[in-house]
Amino acid sequence: MFDFEGLTVYQKAKEARKELLRLVIGKHNVDKSLFDQLKRAVLSIILNIAEGTGKSSIHEKRNFFTIARGSTYETAATIDLLKDDGIISDDDHQRLYLAFEEVSKMLMGLIKAVK
């Protein structure tokens, strides 16, 4: 097992990604460029958590976790746009927003904990 697989933040990010994509995939009124950016942003969260966990220097770990957090913010903004465009409901927006907010807070905890 890789170290990142045991991180709660990694598991939560994967769950949130799965739920987000389930709600958006197959919707015909989603702007293609917005959907492509969403997929990249949410994937970036997960991959940067994994890569950061594998780094040996403190600076590199923090950098990758910080990038993951930035991608979490990007995902939250995209979720807002999906709600504004009527792609997802207010309830779905709220649930996804809270899930990614939790991921963001957990990433900040990781950033602070790396010593």
Please tell me whether residue 26 adopts helix, strand or coil conformation: coil
pTM: 0.95
Please tell me the predicted confidence (pLDDT) of residue 115. Answer: 76
Neighbours of 96 (CB within 10 A): 23
Please tell me the predicted confidence (pLDDT) of residue 12. Answer: 98
> 107 with 62: CB under 8 angstroms?
no
Q: Which residues of the chain have pLDDT under 50?
A: none
Q: Write out pLDDT tens, residues 13-34.
A: 999 999 999 999 988 899 999 9
What would the 3-class secondary structure string for 41-97 be?
A: HHHHHHHHHHHHHCCCCHHHHHHHHHHHHHHHHHHHHHHHHHHHCCCCCHHHHHHHH
- Please give the distance of CA 41 from its chain centroid, rounded to a whole number: 7
User: In order of start, what are the domains of the chain with their CATH numbers?
Assistant: 3-113 (1.20.1440.60)
Please tell me the predicted confidence (pLDDT) of residue 105. Answer: 98
Gap between the Cα atoms of 51 and 106, Å rounded: 16
